[in-house]
Chain A
């Protein structure tokens, strides 16, 4: 403060230009102390700069991004559709893809033949026949992002089967099912988080801002909601979802259930922030200017807490995904033919699968990876969100 004040008074325009130049060149501290550079950077610049330094958070962010891009283009990336079955290739183990054929880059898989052994169990034998993969090839028709009708897939194995993660009990490609199931699992989290954000933000800010009896009621409500054991509560709530509802209706009912429980954490956090902000000078100034409560809440308090809101959103997404998985695994959430990761895991609830066909558990690993990635991302955001402290 002391360094800049007098100089700035006279030639702040000049200095500002200098700051911006330094920012753009990526030489943040060129000719400026770190303090001065921070002084000139915007809040978002500072958050980004701090976030970038955290490698785990960056890794998490990249993984999360890849997941959502894959979910968006799932039908294109997947070689088949949800309904495609290979009756002769049930429980086909993952097929290795060989990339180089006689020294040139030409990926192929070996054709497999199925037969029965003496116990009438299906066994697969690899033949010597190579099936070369074709890229951007025509396959089964689908609608890209539910809008554009097309039949081009990223890769196809003409005249054979390519199942890089194996097939399930009905001979459906696990890779395809995980990709397309991800669309629901990843978005159910988003919708659920947005709904719980709205609930948590409104109740948390109202609770902190008004205080008194309102605060008391909301806080006790939060305690009651948090005190419920979550799985029995989900069970009770999802039992209330009528069985004859359509897939879409069930989907929204499940997100509603998840968000009804998920908002308490955010509400608690925001209440604390608002309690201290409420007495801050700039809120006082706004009150003295005659601003109404709703103006103070929406123009001052919500923007001030947006950092916390984003962090909590990121950290609660994986728990939403896990919750959906848990519900569906227990058979209380989504039901086939709707496909999500939870539904995929629900279909393999037995020891036999684990012992004999371990690849059908691959959705679990997909979930673990995205959950960890979200946690890294959220932790990084939380550390970066308050850039004014060192």
Chain B
């Protein structure tokens, strides 16, 4: 309550930290609903899990956009729908001027050379029956790039690029540690020289000591190769460290989006405030006085979201209008977007 009131007072325009160019990815009205079917033989669609329910955002060339939110809020589905690993229910995804949602077959395959993914679980993302060399060169083989020898050379280059000994090329994934496997996953993603990479919680399955290594690797690669990242995570302090902008998702929708410093110092949406209040502060004096906002209840089922604002079942500051109308994502400060009736 008080937080919201306070933040309204400090609503002064923040200085734009970075000059953004043209968007590399433009998402408009993106929805992904997974049908729930019932019936024995003639199945009818009786309901839908609204994993992603209307997203609008841009990702600018060379930036890292963080996507945070609790488990099951649709972060990963968003990433995969952008890559067309799931086909969108409605909405558009524009990548470097090409509309992806209607692409099929070979033209889609060509576009996929420019966008790749790094997965969360380094144990599930590498085929245990293939050698590292075959895993990394598979995209090259599929696209018919280079001769066998060229590809082998490229694999060695890539391994070196991600900080692994090229000598490892003929080994199998089970011979590597989690951090090493994640590096192999990065090497595979880089094989086709993409411009855009979805990092689907790339560090949350790793030990803390290894997390920093992988994050540093990702940042080095971004600097050297001009990559654009969509960085999906739930570790808020890591997101603050590496992202230029951050979008907060709740139940399939973006509730707040801003540059990361702005979002962390001036969170406007009550959900963002609750999330940030849960981050421990590495300063004993501050940590002692840290006030946690504890949300009541669980995430509602995305198959049956609440009427009005999605967050109204758990919101500490909800008012009548929140139960009637779904708030729109509005730019309340330059570059700072919020979907909350109490703010706008």
Contacts and interface: CB of A to CB of B under 8 A. Distances in A.
Interface of A: 1-2, 4-6, 8-9, 12-13, 16, 39-40, 42-43, 216, 280-282, 284-292, 295, 300, 303-304
Interface of B: 41, 80, 83, 85, 109, 112-113, 115-117, 119-121, 124-129, 138-139, 142-143, 165, 167-168, 172, 174-180, 185, 188, 191-192, 207, 209-210
Contacts of A295: 142
B142 A291 contact: yes
B85 A288 contact: yes
Given A280-B124, A290-B112, 15 more contacts: A1-B177, A1-B178, A1-B207, A4-B177, A6-B209, A42-B172, A42-B174, A282-B125, A284-B85, A286-B127, A288-B117, A291-B138, A292-B142, A295-B142, A303-B129
A281 B124 contact: yes
15 contacts: A5-B179, A8-B180, A9-B179, A9-B180, A12-B168, A12-B175, A39-B174, A39-B175, A282-B125, A286-B127, A290-B109, A291-B138, A295-B142, A303-B129, A304-B127
A295 B116 CA distance: 19
Contacts of B124: 280-282
Given A6-B209, A280-B124, A289 B85 contact: no
A292 to B, nearest CB: 8
A173 to B, nearest CB: 49
Contacts of A4: 177
B80 to A, nearest CB: 7
Q: Which residue among B129, B177, B188 has the maximum number of chain A CB atoms within 10 Å of its CB?
A: B177
Given A281-B119, A281-B121, A285-B188, A5 B180 contact: yes
Chain A residues touching B, majority SS: helix
Contacts of A284: 80, 85, 117, 119, 125
A16 B175 contact: yes
A5 B125 contact: no
Contacts of A6: 177, 209
A362 to B, nearest CB: 45
Contact of A289 (B165, B175, B192, B207): B192
A8 B181 CA distance: 12
A5 B178 contact: yes
A9 B177 contact: yes
Contacts of A285: 117, 119, 125, 185, 188
B177 A13 contact: no
A43 B129 contact: yes
A290 B178 contact: no
